[in-house]
Amino acid sequence: MIEDEPRIVERAKGGEAEAFGLLYDHYLPPIYRFVLFRVSHREEAEDITHQTFLKAWERIEQYESKGYPFGSWLYRIARNTIIDSHRKANPQVNIEEVTSYLAAEEQSQSDFLDMKIEWELLLTAMRELKEVEQEVLILRFVEDLTHQEAALIVGKSEGAVKLIQHRALKNLKGILKKNEIN
């Protein structure tokens, strides 16, 4: 959660574009990643992320905190936008495009390439999981959200999210093993 988020949200609800800009800057990367891992296509991810923030800005008066960060609300909008988008057209999957945005950072080029291959294998395997399993893994391990926050976003109970997470990791290992054999 961004520092002093409740006050910034109230300012944004009052129509202050600058305040919504702060929320946009803070939440854009996680929302973009969440969408990208789900659709595996850069341009589609950009479009859906854009629509997500546009909807949020247009409907910000409807947002009620209820103790959860503003991000939870954004994730739910993004999730619904992905569902709507997938209803309209079959998504194109391009895992290499996803990993092309990974920065080399401090690793050597060879280490980075090894990592990139591992990520691509991981993302390819994840595509075989159920949608809710993918979402829980992304929210819990990529975005480091709590079980409670993830539960709110995917519309399940906290206990259900723990079970989904456990099953997703087990299934993912099985898929990686199967892909290695193939």
Query: What does the binding site for another protein look like in residue numbers (CB under 8 A)?
Result: 14-15, 17, 20-21, 24-25, 28-29, 32-33, 36-37, 46, 49-50, 53-54, 57-58, 98-99, 101-103, 105, 115, 118-119, 121-123, 137-138, 141-144, 169, 172-173, 176-177, 179-180
Q: How far apart, in Å, do the first and last CA atoms of the chain sit?
A: 43
CA 106 to chain centre: 25
The pair phi, psi for residue 138, each rounded to 5°, is -65, -50
Cβ closest to another protein, residue 44 vs residue 67: 44
Cβ closest to another protein, residue 99 vs residue 148: 99
Q: How far is the CB of 36 from another protein (least distance, A)?
A: 7
Nearest-angstrom CA–CA distance, 135 and 141: 10
Nearest-angstrom CA–CA distance, 172 and 120: 13
Nearest-angstrom CA–CA distance, 10 and 14: 6
Q: How far is the CB of 124 from another protein (least distance, A)?
A: 11
Cβ closest to another protein, residue 58 vs residue 66: 58
Nearest-angstrom CA–CA distance, 162 and 67: 21
Cβ closest to another protein, residue 145 vs residue 151: 145
Q: How far is the CB of 123 from another protein (least distance, A)?
A: 8
Cβ closest to another protein, residue 137 vs residue 151: 137
Nearest-angstrom CA–CA distance, 85 and 25: 24
